[in-house]
Structure 1
Amino acid sequence: MTSRSAAPDPAVPDPAGNHTVGTDPEIVDLAATLRRRPTVRLGADVDPGWHDALSRWARSNGLEVTDTDATLAVTTDPTQAVRAAWVHSPFAGVEHLAPALPDDVVLTRTTGTMPGRIAEYVLTWVLAERWQAARYLALSTTATWDASNPPASPERREAAVVGTGAMGAAIARTLATLGYRVVGLSRTGRPDDAFDAVLPLAEAFGAATPATPATTEQAFDAACTDVLVLALPHTPQTDGLVTPALLRAFERVHLVNIGRGSAVRTTTLLNALDTGRLRHATLDVVEQEPLEASSPLWRRPDVTITPHVSGLTLPSDVVAGLDVALTAIRAGSRPASAVARDRGY
């Protein structure tokens, strides 16, 4: 598939001199299609409670809501996007859409206020694990006063976040408020101000090459890491990315997964817990959802399960995302929320 990550050319006046447009040909063509056929279809998978807000947004922007094929489809189901030149996912994940849509379809996604809520989730469970919240709740139900083994601040104020997009960056900033030094681990190692350092995954878990020696600021020692957060989308490259070999580099780390359950196999998690590489796993996502009642993850005191609630999308997030994307498209510019199809996010 062709890449969607190319930056738009500088904006120039349109031939009529009416307004400023960009010169990204694909986006300019999409803007023209929207003018000729200003229609939007809300997929059958879109929450019915969101229809009023999305319909009002469409009407206020001169778009007709239709139940048939339209220029814009708001959906996670590619079968609901037939003939659509633009598809907008009402959620952040696009794993069902990206591989199925033709290359010339512009695909955007919703992020909205989700990064902040996900960061709150991580903060909540990092503190709950540190302060033994589950233990004290259990003691309180039996009226038991037990001051033995009180909570202690971690000796290692080091955290690693795998995935340095909007979610990972928000998590890093929040963990920093607890005094953590946060290292981001990503495919490219591209620097980001939200992190104290960002390293490519291959470099973080292998020796630095002579051409790119690790500096003191970049140094990453998995064995000294207190919290490991997985903030990965689902792509072929991230499927099973967190391997047993990778987790063997850690020593009693608290793993929190808010990305996709496919990033780490259940058997890998169980083995890492049994060998002490993980002291606790907080899982908002798992390989198969909902998690079966027979799964051994339910019966472990060193595992906390939540039902994929850390990054719930609000209808206002979808409306805001569509509004920003439509404004960019009508100006001929590629929206910031556009998915790079070669990467899948």
Structure 2
Amino acid sequence: MSKYILALRELQPEHQKRVEEIAPDHKVIRSIEEADAIEDIEILYSWKKDQGTELLNNDKNQLKWIQTASAGIDYLDLEELEKQEIILTNSSGIHAKGIAESTMAMILNYTRGIGHSLKAQLNAEWSELETLIELEEKTIMIVGTGEIGKQVGKLAKAFDMKTIGINRSGDHADHMDEQHTQDDLSEVIGQADIVVNILPLTDETEDFFDKERFSNMKEQSIFINVGRGGSVVTDDLIDALENGNLAYAGLDVLHEEPLPEDHPLWKRDDVLITPHISGHLENYDRHLFPIFEKNLKAFVENESLPVNVVDYSKGY
């Protein structure tokens, strides 16, 4: 009897062929109803709330592994997955270059007057700025030095910036001139001209950037959020813009998505909002499938999965 891979993200034909070659005893299906028995569904490729929840809530399910198409997994019930002893792997790392490029674009939008000029252009105005900012010798603090953070650091070094990395352990990360722990952040954040938040959303990081941390930032600094919206207290961010602690914020993620039409952030000239698109790639599946492929090879050989296994105790 066949075992099933429930693919909630369409596999490209060449990827479908590779799955068949690697796991000939598994059949790819697109819905729960296609399975002869729900207990024969072993693998979930990507996640959709309706079918994923239906599967997890069925007492007969024997799901063993979920591969998400996202790096963040805070939308999943991690406690339930751990209880059911389901292995969870994410897509961490595939977004690094795209998100790093978006981060630098958000920064340059402000420092080189791009946003100002675009607004003026729409009104057919020749509006010069007397002073623009160069990034050379500026200090950028990268809060979260995983693959994305390291790529941001690499690009920042190309602009001759000083890079300070922040992570849980304080262990050195590539492209960082200095490294500190999250516990030390409030003490060192005042050194940064630019702070980039790339933290995942966990119990430790929820509301991480609050009034206290914004108040410790250098006056007229820049804040970029490409991590998770829930790690920032939005009202405190607005207050920091109002009182001059921040000169500008670039936000790809927000506490509520989509952001309500009447939210005050929309009307601020010192804020750039992009609709959670920094992780979008030209060919997403080309980057995602190799993670699944490597893990699938290990799965069928009854070996430990080698790539992007989520640690439930950490939440990422």
* TM-score of the pair, normalised by structure 1: 0.78
Q: How does 1:191-202 map to 2 (within 5 A)?
A: 191-202=172-183
Aligned to 2:310: 339
What's the offset of the Cα at 1:148?
A: 4.5
What's the offset of the Cα at 1:340?
A: 0.7
Unaligned runs of 5+ in 1: 1-35, 207-219
2:254 alignment partner, one of 278, 286, 292:
286
Aligned to 1:101: 81
What's the offset of the Cα at 1:194?
A: 2.8
Kindly indicate whether residue 92 of structure 2 is the aligned counterpart of residue 111 of structure 1: yes
Aligned to 1:326: 296
- The count of corresponding residues between Structure 1 and Structure 2 is 292
- The alignment-based identity, stated in percent, is 25
RMSD over equivalenced CA pairs, Å? 2.2
Counterpart amino acid of residue 118 in structure 1: I
Aligned to 1:55: 16
Q: How does 1:1-345 map to 2 (within 5 A)?
A: 38-43=3-8, 46=9, 48=10, 50=11, 52=13, 55-61=16-22, 62=24, 63-66=26-29, 67=32, 68=35, 69=38, 70-76=41-47, 77=49, 78-79=52-53, 80-81=55-56, 82-97=61-76, 98-103=78-83, 104-154=85-135, 157-206=138-187, 220=188, 222-250=189-217, 251-312=219-280, 314-329=284-299, 330=301, 332-345=303-316
2:66 match: secondary structure = strand
Measured in 1, the distance between the counterparts of 2:209 and 2:17 equals: 43
What's the offset of the Cα at 1:317?
A: 2.3
What's the offset of the Cα at 1:112?
A: 5.0
Tell me which moved more, 170-179 or 52-61. 52-61
Measured in 2, the distance between the counterparts of 1:341 and 1:327 equals: 23
What's the offset of the Cα at 1:158?
A: 0.2
What's the offset of the Cα at 1:128?
A: 1.4
* TM-score of the pair, normalised by structure 2: 0.85
Measured in 1, the distance between the counterparts of 2:302 and 2:175 equals: 30
Q: Which has the higher contact order (CA 8 A, sep 6+)?
A: 1
Unaligned runs of 5+ in 2: none
Measured in 1, the distance between the counterparts of 2:42 and 2:114 equals: 50
Poorly superposed stretches of 4+, deviation over 6 Å: none
Measured in 2, the distance between the counterparts of 1:268 and 1:205 equals: 15
Measured in 1, the distance between the counterparts of 2:266 and 2:296 equals: 44
Measured at CA, do residues 52 and 157 of structure 1 come closer, stay the same or move farther in structure 2, by a change above 3 Å?
Answer: same
1:190 match: secondary structure = coil
1:33-53 CA distance string (max 9 Å, x none): xxx96421123xx3x5x4656
Measured at CA, do residues 128 and 109 of structure 1 come closer, stay the same or move farther in structure 2, by a change above 3 Å?
Answer: same
What's the offset of the Cα at 1:102?
A: 3.0
Measured at CA, do residues 90 and 154 of structure 1 come closer, stay the same or move farther in structure 2, by a change above 3 Å?
Answer: closer
Counterpart amino acid of residue 342 in structure 1: S
Measured at CA, do residues 201 and 145 of structure 1 come closer, stay the same or move farther in structure 2, by a change above 3 Å?
Answer: same
Measured in 2, the distance between the counterparts of 1:112 and 1:249 equals: 30
Measured in 2, the distance between the counterparts of 1:305 and 1:230 equals: 15
Measured in 1, the distance between the counterparts of 2:160 and 2:227 equals: 23
Higher helix share: 2
1:97-155 CA distance string (max 9 Å, x none): 32331342111111353101001101111111101112112333444434451313258
1:316 match: secondary structure = helix
